[in-house]
Structure 1
Amino acid sequence: MDYKEKIGTVKNPLQLKTPPLSSEYTMHVAEKDGSEILVCTVGKTVLHYDIRCIQDLHNMLKSHGDWMLLGSKDEKVLTKPDTVEHWGRSPENPIGGWYGLKKNFRGRFGMYIPPLLEHLGLAEVEHNKRNNRMCAV
């Protein structure tokens, strides 16, 4: 499925909030090395994610069939199994590893990708101060 129009461009990026609704960030689609990627900008920090994560995460959540903890962590911090963050860097996911593409900025998948899926109507995300979960719609 093509979500580009709903995500935005560098000139008109999608405005999102983290699951606890405490921080704002933007997301847009760009091209890098001939492939489309997601560009997530948080203040001055820019993260890149493989655009396949949208459909892959939605499919995994549908298969999971229940709520899943987000478990967001920086790249160098170990993840808790059975969380969205753990899945987003697991050799068991469809791409066999990290959906984050920028070395030293590959983490926080569980913070920035779930609100995008919620915006696209693919998932429901909790908005508590911590320990948020998501499930497929």
Structure 2
Amino acid sequence: MNYKEKIGTKDNPIKLKTPPLSSEYTMHVGEKDGKEILVCTVKSTILHYDIRCIEDAYLMLKERNDWIELGSKDEKAETKPNTFEHWGRSTNNPIGGWYGLKKGLRGRFGMYIPPLLEAMGLAEVTHKKRGNSMRAK
């Protein structure tokens, strides 16, 4: 899959909204240490995620074949089991740990990745004030 076409570049990033539709942010494909990564910009904060999370999350959602609670948390906060956030840092996911790449900012996977998957046509996300979920399309 050509992610740059769907996600964009630094000069032309995709514009997204958090699941509750309360905040805007951008996402684009960047590069770090010679590897493509996802660069998520939330106001002045920049987060990095392993680009593999797109395919890995989609496959997990397809296999699950049901809704999964997003459960977004900061890096230092404990996650609720069986949430997307928990899966995004679990030793049981395909990369064996964090998809977040920036120490101190590795969390919020359940906040920023689901809207990207939705924009790419891979997932359906609920948009309530709290307790959002998603499933594969």
Paired position in structure 1 for 2:100:
100
Alignment pair present for 1:37 and 2:37: yes
Task: Quote the Cα distance in structure 2 between the aligned partners of 1:32 and 1:80.
Answer: 30
Deviating beyond 3 angstroms after TM superposition, the runs of 4 or more aligned structure 1 residues are none
Task: Quote the Cα distance in structure 2 between the aligned partners of 1:123 and 1:35.
Answer: 25
CA RMSD of aligned residues (A): 0.5
Task: Quote the Cα distance in structure 1 between the aligned partners of 2:96 and 2:33.
Answer: 20
CA shift for structure 1 position 2? 2.2
CA deviations over 1:39-78 (Å, ceiling 9, x no partner):
0000000000000000000000011110000000000000
Between Structure 1 and Structure 2, how many residues are aligned? 137
Give the 5 Å matches for 1:36-55.
36-55=36-55
CA shift for structure 1 position 3? 1.9
Task: Quote the Cα distance in structure 2 between the aligned partners of 1:10 and 1:77.
Answer: 30
Paired position in structure 1 for 2:109:
109
Structure 2 residue runs of 5 or longer lacking an equivalent are none
Task: Quote the Cα distance in structure 2 between the aligned partners of 1:55 and 1:28.
Answer: 16
Task: Quote the Cα distance in structure 1 between the aligned partners of 2:100 and 2:88.
Answer: 8
Give the 5 Å matches for 1:47-126.
47-126=47-126
Q: Give the share of equivalent positions with the same residue, in percent.
A: 74
Paired position in structure 1 for 2:20:
20
- Say which SS state the counterpart of residue 13 (structure 1) adopts: strand
TM-score (ref. length: structure 2): 0.99
Task: Quote the Cα distance in structure 1 between the aligned partners of 2:4 and 2:136.
Answer: 20
Structure 1 residue runs of 5 or longer lacking an equivalent are none
What is the letter of the counterpart of residue 118 of structure 1? E
What is the letter of the counterpart of residue 78 of structure 2? L
Paired position in structure 2 for 1:8:
8
Task: Quote the Cα distance in structure 2 between the aligned partners of 1:105 and 1:82.
Answer: 21
Task: Quote the Cα distance in structure 1 between the aligned partners of 2:4 and 2:90.
Answer: 26
Task: Quote the Cα distance in structure 2 between the aligned partners of 1:67 and 1:111.
Answer: 15
Task: Quote the Cα distance in structure 1 between the aligned partners of 2:3 and 2:59.
Answer: 15
What is the letter of the counterpart of residue 107 of structure 1? G
TM-score (ref. length: structure 1): 0.99
What is the letter of the counterpart of residue 47 of structure 2? L
Task: Quote the Cα distance in structure 1 between the aligned partners of 2:115 and 2:4.
Answer: 15
